[in-house]
Structure 1
Amino acid sequence: MDFSLSEEHRMIVETARRFVEEELYPYEAEVEESDTLRPELAAQIREKSIELGLYAANMPEELGGGGLDTVSMCLLDRELGRANMALNYTVARPSNILQACEGEQREKYLFPCIRGEKVDCLAMTEPGAGSDVRSMSCKAERDGDDFVINGVKHFISHADWADFVILFAATGEEETPRGPRKKITSFLVDKGWPGFTVRQGYKNVSHRGYHNFILEFDDCRVPSSQVLGVVDQGFDVANDWLGATRLQVAALSLGRCHRALEQSLDWAVERKQFGQQISKFQGVSFKLADMKMRLHAAELLVMEAAWKHEQGAMEDMDAAMAKLAATEALAFIADEAIQIHGGMGLMSDLPLERIWRDARVERIWEGTSEIQRHIISRSLLRPLGG
């Protein structure tokens, strides 16, 4: 069993780390204070990331992407995760679900996203259907060669940047041994389409500059050519995407963990109280030990899941354990980092209060910690008849 990084992996880490430090860190204060990512700054970051081969690195080379494997993508996202979310997400990773595009859809949606000419966003969550996506009420009813869509989506990230939406809507019901179950279909819907409105979402504590939005569909008519994948089989497309996205959240969380721990180590050595470095006190040094242990354990779970994904052997439980461990490690490490720094930890002069604020949402989106525990326990108990 080899835990070492290849030369290629090390190059990815070094390139991404340098990019983050030189191209993203200098603008963190601006974005945090203004809660805005200027379009010209976003364009600057995008151009630089394309030049370095970091943009759309998750997409296959034959489609024009970077062609990085899952382990490499997790290493890249770990480094990008060190910076403010609005800044690091400008280095777009188009949704893997777009690989389901066929025919003209590829020219209109897939390839422009890979080239950095368009941005996608995913619309699944609803006010009455969060983790229980099968209960979504947004529906698409067939009318001749079209579908007429009605409903509301919310908590839709970066819909302001997006040119189009990957929308999931109910298109009927089917009987199952556990009762009626909604059939789900995914659609590609352009912003500006008649009957489709994007509204400002909710103000929140996490990820300044990276906003959520409310999407309203009122008799929005889209042709059947906008179906992504197969009608009534939207979850077949989504399931492949969800595992990779949970790994992305986990990897981004690891980046913040590393930054908070590094900041804490430097502070523990530099800060003096009662005539000595505070690292000499067990109250501080033991915190650092626990932070390192939690981070290392989470990192191993994330990288193992990424390796399994690359081998085609990753199960739902692997991605769930990776996300759960990384996001909960982030919550612990961010809190302990602030405790080590005392009052300074809560000041905006340091990145810790931002990391602490941003950490909270990671245990909620892309499946709450409770959902991840459900996935893990279900995987353990089902083979035993439980």
Structure 2
Amino acid sequence: MHFALTEEQQMIADTTRAFVENELYPHEAEIERSGHLPMELIRELQAKAMAAGLYAANMPEAVGGAGLDSLSWLLYEKELGRANYALHWTCVARPSNILLAGTDEQKEKYLFPCIRGETWDCLAMTEPGAGSDLRGMKATARFDGGDFVLNGTKHFISHADIADFAIVFMATGEEETPRGPKKLITAFFVDKGTPGFTVRDGYRNVSHRGYTNSVLDFDDCRLPKSAVLGEVHKGFQVANDWLGATRLQVAATCLGRADRALSHAIAYAAERRQFGQQIGKFQGVSFKLADMAMELKAANLLTWDAAWKFDQGTVTEADMSMAKLKATEVLAMIADEAIQIHGGMGLMDELPLERIWRDARVERIWEGTSEIQRHIISRELLRAVGG
């Protein structure tokens, strides 16, 4: 197997890293202290990202994106992941691939404005009582007089405050299965301002300052059938067809932050002196660095392997789960060890380490918890032998 990057892939990584270091890093401290990302800054950085060819780069060339293969896309995501999450996700937006599942009319209304940077999408699945168990959702959409009427609540919905619309998953019925009745799910486009649809402030959280979450309330919110994304009762199919690679996206952004933390730890271990020598000379520090580097390389290889298989059409759910699981847990380990190497200074906000450490915690929860990833991996192993 050939592991070297092509010249084009290296250029994509280098260009993205230069943008992150020159345009995003200078704003990190203020966003971290204020927890607020001003719209004027968003628009300024958005224009620069577009000029650099980095905006909506995850999208196919046919709809105005960069048309990157999966590995090139994840190399790009890794470099963006080095920065504060709110800065890179909002200012260098990557619209959800699920928008590609829309009709031509839906693409004109929702997809293309996102690619042009005129608006943002948000995806609403999670509910207060149904996180990993999506089929346990209680929010419903019932058919009434040719329309659908939505009721219920979604929460933890990222950047819904600035999005002009939401892609909302609702229970639209039940089906009988050998393991009992299960919810049928349908996806809908819901425009902000639709009667019965309210966006409320979400929760303050320890991770990703400036990157907001909201609560979405639906109270007899009436939608036409044209608002359905995909087919009625086929919401899970739409999600599985178009959202599978989001686990790899999470993995890649974690790799960027882990690499940044490791670089700080290596530099500090070579610079800091105690007892007459560099602290990197002590095995208590040098062995940490060795383990951090080894684990990061393993996480990189799992992620790039899954990306390559994704484009070959041979990737499995377990491949993507292994990449997400390994990268998120390695990030947590490296962030913690980097702080340990720095001692008390690692917890001060003069360095990005305490931010990387805080931000790492959510990665083992969203886009499928570590426990869910282990379930997916073990299920695939057991199915191969009839388990």
Q: TM-score, normalised by structure 2?
A: 0.99
After superposition, the C-alpha distances for 1:214-269 in whole angstroms (9 at most, x for unaligned) are: 10000000111000001100111101233211101000000000000000011001
- Structure-2 separation of matches of 1:341 and 1:139: 50
Who is 2:227 aligned against?
226
Residue 39 of structure 1 aligns to which amino acid in structure 2? M
After superposition, the C-alpha distances for 1:317-358 in whole angstroms (9 at most, x for unaligned) are: 011000000000000000000000000000000000000000
Paired residues of 1:79 and 1:252 also in contact (CA < 8 A): yes
Who is 1:10 aligned against?
10
Residue 314 of structure 1 aligns to which amino acid in structure 2? V
Who is 1:19 aligned against?
19
After superposition, the C-alpha distances for 1:122-170 in whole angstroms (9 at most, x for unaligned) are: 0000011000001101100011221000000001111112111000000
1:32 aligns with 2:27: no
Who is 1:49 aligned against?
49
- Structure-2 separation of matches of 1:9 and 1:346: 35
Residue 19 of structure 2 aligns to which amino acid in structure 1? F
Q: What is the CA distance between 1:71 and its match in structure 2?
A: 0.4
1:89 aligns with 2:89: yes
Aligned residues: CA RMSD: 0.7
Who is 2:376 aligned against?
375
1:1-386 matches, within 5 Å, as 1-90=1-90, 91-386=92-387
Q: What is the CA distance between 1:92 and its match in structure 2?
A: 0.8
After superposition, the C-alpha distances for 1:151-192 in whole angstroms (9 at most, x for unaligned) are: 000011111121110000000011111111111000000111
Paired residues of 2:101 and 2:242 also in contact (CA < 8 A): no
| SS of aligned partner of 1:384 | coil
Q: What is the CA distance between 1:108 and its match in structure 2?
A: 0.5
Paired residues of 1:242 and 1:366 also in contact (CA < 8 A): no
| SS of aligned partner of 1:142 | strand
Structure 2 portions without partners, runs of 5+? none
Paired residues of 2:98 and 2:243 also in contact (CA < 8 A): no
- Structure-2 separation of matches of 1:7 and 1:198: 45
- Structure-2 separation of matches of 1:206 and 1:328: 15
Residue 324 of structure 1 aligns to which amino acid in structure 2? L
Aligned length: 386
- Structure-1 separation of matches of 2:180 and 2:122: 32
Q: What is the CA distance between 1:45 and its match in structure 2?
A: 1.3
- Structure-2 separation of matches of 1:145 and 1:73: 41
Paired residues of 2:85 and 2:211 also in contact (CA < 8 A): yes
Residue 283 of structure 1 aligns to which amino acid in structure 2? G
- Structure-2 separation of matches of 1:45 and 1:289: 37
Paired residues of 2:31 and 2:209 also in contact (CA < 8 A): yes
